[in-house]
């Protein structure tokens, strides 16, 4: 059975997938061993209540475990390749140009997973407020989204073309 839903899928290039998989393999293997060794070495120093090295190592361990869970989730929901795209329709993998209402300035960015950072242009997540508002819109349409400060912002889609790379 093929999953045709794309809302929960994270589209990644092969390069991004391989980079994340490599990070996961390191953290869940050698990374866990190294942090366990740090914790054990700090534990041997004595009283744990006043042992800064022990607490720092335990905090680092928590961060590593959190990143492992994050990477596992991303990779479980990842599809390597390109999201289905149509010229003129906003979607993941598209280079989008928008104009803010009441402003002549245009902004161009790649609508893609944050894991695709490293692209030469800004990357906006399809799950961000702006990304979610414009996803599926056609050139010429307007979309309104709520900014972090609670105010609404309206944008017009000026262009949407498949991302061609660097």
Assess whether pLDDT exceeds 70 at residue 103. Answer: yes
pLDDT per residue as tens digits for the range 63-79? 999 999 988 888 887 77
User: Residue 4 is encoded by which pair of tokens?
Assistant: 């045709």
Match 């999201």 to its residue by tokens.
Answer: 83
Among the four given CATH numbers 1.20.1600.10, 3.40.50.2300, 3.10.50.30, 3.30.1060.10, the one describing domain 94-162: 3.10.50.30
Is domain 10-80 classified as CATH 1.10.287.180? yes
- The whole-angstrom separation of Cα 13 and Cα 94 is 13
pTM attached to this predicted model: 0.51
User: Residue 111 is encoded by which pair of tokens?
Assistant: 């609508």
Among 16-20, 72-76, 78-82, 157-161, the range with the most confident prediction by mean pLDDT is 157-161
């Amino acid at each position: 059975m093929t999953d045709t839903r794309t809302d929960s899928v994270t589209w990644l290039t092969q390069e991004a997938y391989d980079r994340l998989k490599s990070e996961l393999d390191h953290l869940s293997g050698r990374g866990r061993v190294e942090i366990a060794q740090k914790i054990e070495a700090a534990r041997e120093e004595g009283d744990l209540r006043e042992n800064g090295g022990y607490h720092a190592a335990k905090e680092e361990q928590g961060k590593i475990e959190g990143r492992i869970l994050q990477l596992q989730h991303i990779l479980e929901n990842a599809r390597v390749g390109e999201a289905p795209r149509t010229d003129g329709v906003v979607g993941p993998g598209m280079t989008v140009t928008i104009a803010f209402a009441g402003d002549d300035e245009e902004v161009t960015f790649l609508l893609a997973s944050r894991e695709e950072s490293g692209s030469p242009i800004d990357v906006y997540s399809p799950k961000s407020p702006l990304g979610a508002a414009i996803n599926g819109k056609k050139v010429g349409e307007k979309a309104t989204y709520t900014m972090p400060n609670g105010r609404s912002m309206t944008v017009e889609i000026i262009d949407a073309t498949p991302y061609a790379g660097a």
